[in-house]
Structure 1
């Protein structure tokens, strides 16, 4: 199907091109509008005006969000050049040697955010003062529409559509308890003994991560449990003597109050994966964030594996 030629006398607006760029990266008009500080109606109107100016459809609605047409992918390159020029104009001359700036939104589990993302990105921002970061902490499966985020770090290999998923790192889950709990209830000698202990883990109805669900299913049904949607609540519950917790080694090994249990029977490997739209990965800022995260987890691989007994 041939595209219509652009109507004579109508020039694309730079503002409209920046809206296209935001929608392409985030997949939703509402998310793009929020990022640009306008409302969804304005964003939709700007895309309509841009399509009229270039003479063809630039976006089509898919089952997982708005996606670029072939013409849209061609126009996107122009939008990216305008974004770079606008960033350059907003930068003092003395700082223009540093071309890295803009906002990057990242969704990841709260444990990964606190332990790895925050220190890595703090150093990155120190080197690039114009770079802004927003971190959304959530332990969930991959967002198929990728609404409102440039980059996701998810647990387990994801099944994605029109996005690029890459393995980031592996980490270990183990069983941990405090001596205060073990002194009162005894130390389990085998996995079967856990049926007589309280288990600390995620709220079952809200757990959407298959890898974590499979880890829990390796254990017998406990006599009772304490559940939370936050891994940090799991750690503190274990420290407080509330039961036996399934915890990432990189969090639990840092707490001297906790003792690892039954390592030979339960040493579960899980993986973190990065997911981003191709349009997002064309951003220098997103690529820099990815590089910083990869460096961080590579340098701290021993923490992710867990300390030897």
Structure 2
């Protein structure tokens, strides 16, 4: 397997089970992915995939090749991180992955400051709720909201930043309406993955009395609360900074998760990564009260 580009494409098809999904992940067109897979099959003299109605499935030969290809990928990633670590210039690309809400509702002004202070560093923000693969160098640094620190991959280097809290919020307008009723109070806006409501959020409400609205991300959830539909559990750093929202009276706040900054291998040794790590740690610390739900603009005081 001399051509690493072909191997990379093969692994993407194997993992996604689809040429289209592999094309999207690699940002290559459909025909290029098919051509590289065909080149690899010709080189090895074996068929690597069966094309089924459900997608592309590895043949026995393909499954055997996959394990070897993954070893190549790991070696390639290690080599890249070591080469990256030797580059001590405060110039060039720095790819940072973090959740969209963290970018939009908390850190964008800080990231703007970093860019102004270090204009020679090309800061690339990867904003996604899906975790990037640092081992495959999809990013140099990842900031993640971690719900259980024991779930952190052992091969990554982690630095704990700060705990994050969440509360129950409703729009100020809905709370002030003369027609405000128990029915309004009990209308929940939930994310699709929510599996029931925690006990701490149920004070003074009956979650079974009104069917909830379900959305698939926190931005839609926030928009629904702003539209006076009902109430939702939201991160304090998102909702407390929104003057249209208020915490539900007599409700509590609760621990949500912990922000961690993660790197892989020797990447953390570069000046760019060390500089960014020190900068973002200081900025997150400066947001401590907001993250804990004890911001100067307390929701109950709006």
Shorter-chain TM-score bucket reads: 0.5 to 0.7
Equivalent position of 1:169 in the other structure: 162
Structure 1 unaligned residues grouped into runs of 5+: 1-15, 17-29, 42-59, 85-98, 188-192, 205-212
Structure 2 unaligned residues grouped into runs of 5+: 5-22, 37-67
Equivalent position of 2:181 in the other structure: 186
Counterpart selection for 1:123 from 90, 109, 113: 113
TM-score (norm 1): 0.60
Report which stretch shifted further, 291-300 or 149-158.
149-158
Counterpart selection for 2:139 from 149, 154, 158: 149
Counterpart selection for 2:188 from 196, 199, 213: 199
- Residue 166 of structure 1: how far off its partner (Å): 2.3
Equivalent position of 1:243 in the other structure: 230
Distance 1:275 1:217, change over 3 A: same
Equivalent position of 1:291 in the other structure: 278
Equivalent position of 1:300 in the other structure: 287
- Residue 215 of structure 1: how far off its partner (Å): 8.7
Equivalent position of 1:230 in the other structure: 217
3-state DSSP class of the match of 1:254? coil
For 2:134 and 2:198, the matched residues in 1 are separated by 26
Distance 1:103 1:228, change over 3 A: farther
For 1:264 and 1:172, the matched residues in 2 are separated by 13
Instruction: State the superposition RMSD in angstroms.
Output: 3.9
3-state DSSP class of the match of 1:255? coil
- Residue 132 of structure 1: how far off its partner (Å): 1.0
Distance 1:175 1:143, change over 3 A: farther
- Residue 134 of structure 1: how far off its partner (Å): 1.6
Report which stretch shifted further, 280-289 or 178-187.
178-187
- Residue 228 of structure 1: how far off its partner (Å): 3.1
3-state DSSP class of the match of 1:198? coil
For 2:85 and 2:107, the matched residues in 1 are separated by 26
3-state DSSP class of the match of 2:152? coil
3-state DSSP class of the match of 1:273? strand
Structure 2 residue 73 is matched with structure 1 residue 66? yes
Distance 1:221 1:282, change over 3 A: farther
> Does the 8 A contact of 1:174 with 1:266 survive in 2?
yes
For 1:296 and 1:222, the matched residues in 2 are separated by 43
Equivalent position of 2:102 in the other structure: 112
For 2:128 and 2:227, the matched residues in 1 are separated by 24
- Residue 143 of structure 1: how far off its partner (Å): 4.4
> Does the 8 A contact of 2:132 with 2:139 survive in 1?
no
- Residue 113 of structure 1: how far off its partner (Å): 1.1
TM-score (norm 2): 0.62
For 1:178 and 1:152, the matched residues in 2 are separated by 33
Equivalent position of 2:126 in the other structure: 136
